[in-house]
Structure 1
């Protein structure tokens, strides 16, 4: 299975507060097989595993789990302690109460709250003081980690009704689908929050000691690469495209496999906020980066593996997807 990829924006943010230590920045990039040249390419992407490792190493190097984005450093081990408390809760509702209560005790600049209104549960982030300002990265990353942790606690993907941000729409906003798996995202709201069905709070939490140990061994990787079977048409089409890349099936062929009329399938995808070409390009891009960066395949091999008959056509498409040529992603020793 292909490795998901992460937009270069998140790599830039990961290293942002080390700008005064360029040697350390370069060391972290090199040890995680990320070419420094990619930082200058707005459309560049890297394997999710490389980014997860970079986050872990940056947090350790800074001694701060918030990587400099909070009001003050968050000591290493805070997330582990919170996770252990949540994993021993009897239900998701109790686990999230413990999570939000734990982070209200830490002076990191934001208040975390769990509330229920009209059968909708929400977890919100609000600054401790009215004049406090934090980068969008702090809100988007922390809500992402809360959502993925909640998924892990009950062993299924929690569909989000909506995601609110207190900041304006960002240039990388298209990436929020990959983070939250919803297109219902709103900006310049009163506070940042995720919303979901309150009935899910009754779900049991049953995490074994072995599962907890595995999760905590590399939290960033466990959450960034997290996958649960989804009923969305986007997920179904993405999975089918991934499985049949070399055969180059037409959209009609895919619809036939899914036992649905092509016109109906296009409408379903449109309702979810996607177009088929967008899905196909993302799957091919992610798969190509996986083969180049993680598997060490040549450009020619990669072109063939994702369904291109000519390397030149692959190179042109890859540059369109990422802003740079495939060789920039070649695995280094």
Structure 2
């Protein structure tokens, strides 16, 4: 599937700790082709590549890999050093031990811990100082990076049994479904953590120097665009739909592509917590943003490419999805 789009919430977080530097904020947005007007539209989305570049540039501008969200700045190069240590481990279990041990040595506000309980493994984050109030972004982003790095180390997606957050449900909660590839997410828990099968800890690691260098060349982009052969019906339906948007396929057409009866496919999606219309809207939205932002297509051309007969209907739907007009994405170019 095409690179995903990212909720404007995460763009806002990139800039949150630069409030006294409006010129730098504007420069970073302009460099990465993100219209400032989108910051004030809570449903807006941006291309994943643009967000990845923005987060990288913000970290470099601040000299802090956690962009001011920790109790102390995290020097540039910490993640690369940890990744090199983890990539040289013989298996995933040892790699994650190294990761959690490494980040316990850095005074950044959180303590990382790896635990095994029966057939489940937990990787948790807790404040280094009891009752310290840290921004939810620090928890959600770091757990995301740990999960995606673990996937990369063994070359496959690690299905998460559950994700726990130690804060209340946020307006962008639905975004976590895509970030962690699960709907089994819980809030107001004693600690933030991800949980998965302990059997995966035995998976061997074989990372070549070339693969390591490629991963570290742009970690943020590698994380966001990561994809592996997946058993997720959400992913399969989205990929099938994206390949033929212009032909306006019906749900029955998609089911036929997947060699399933429509009732069976709906049941599979329901088990994962998704409805077909949700997937269709997201695929159309992501595809529209791609065509508007990257290919130079007009609004009318974009409407046709994603299956709309009339540009006016596309514009209405696009505003419903993002809160913005299609032309605001054209201006990013």
Structure 1 residue aligned with 2:21: 21
Residue 296 of structure 1: how far off its partner (Å):
2.0
CA deviation string 1:250-289 (max 9, x = no partner)? 1112112222221221121111110100000100000000
1:219-298 map, 5 Å: 219-298=219-298
Q: Following the alignment from structure 1 to structure 2, what is the Cα–Cα distance between the partners of residues 134 and 257? A: 46
Cα distance, 1:130 vs structure 2: 1.2
Distance 1:179 1:332, change over 3 A: closer
Corresponding residue for residue 164 of structure 2: 164
| Counterpart position of 1:64 | 64
Distance in 2 (CA, whole Å) between partners of 1:332 and 1:100 is 39
Distance of 1:224 and 1:332 partners within structure 2:
20
Provide the rounded CA distance (Å) in 2 between the counterparts of 1:232 and 1:105.
37
Q: Structure 2 CA distance, aligned partners of 1:34 and 1:295?
A: 15
- Deviation of 1:6 after TM superposition, in Å, equals 0.1
Matched, 1:330 2:322: no
Residue aligned with 1:145, SS: helix
Counterpart residue number, 2:79: 79
Task: Indicate the SS of the match to 1:196.
Answer: strand
- Alignment partner of 1:206 is 2:206: yes
Over residues 9-28 of structure 1, what are the superposed CA-to-partner deviations in whole Å (9 max), with x where a residue is unaligned?
00001100001111100000
- Is this contact kept in 2: 1:38–1:44, CA < 8 A? yes
Q: Distance in 1 between matches of 2:289 and 2:7?
A: 12
CA contact (8 A) 2:53 2:220 kept: yes
Q: What TM-score does the superposition give when structure 2 sets the normalisation length?
A: 0.99
Native 8 Å contact 1:3 1:287 kept in 2: no
Whether 2:152 is the aligned partner of 1:146: answer no
Alignment partners' CA distance in 2, 1:84 and 1:158: 20
Instruction: Measure, in 2, the Cα distance between the counterparts of 1:47 and 1:332.
Output: 11
Q: How many residues end up aligned between the 2 structures?
A: 333
Query: In the alignment, is residue 188 of structure 1 matched against residue 188 of structure 2?
Result: yes
Give the distance between the partners of 1:51 and 1:160, measured in 2 at CA. Answer: 24
Deviates more, 1:175-184 or 1:228-237: 228-237
**1:85-138 C-alpha deviation (Å, 9 max, x unpaired):** 000000000000000000000000110000000110010000112121111100
Gaps of 5+ in 2: none
> What stretches of structure 1 move > 2 A for 4+ residues in a row?
none
CA apart distance, 1:332: 4.0
Mapped contact 2:293–2:329 kept (Cα < 8 A): yes
Report the 3-state secondary structure (helix = DSSP H, G, I; strand = E; otherwise coil) of the residue aligned with 1:101.
Answer: helix
Query: How many angstroms apart in 2 are the aligned matches of 1:297 and 1:74?
Result: 41
Q: Which runs of 5 or more residues in structure 1 are unaligned?
A: none
* d(CA) in 1 for partners of 2:245, 2:268: 22
- For the aligned residue pairs, the C-alpha RMSD in angstroms reads 0.9
1:316 maps to 2:319: no
The 8 Å contact of residues 162 and 184 in structure 1, kept in 2 or not, is answered as yes
2: distance between equivalents of 1:26 and 1:332? 13
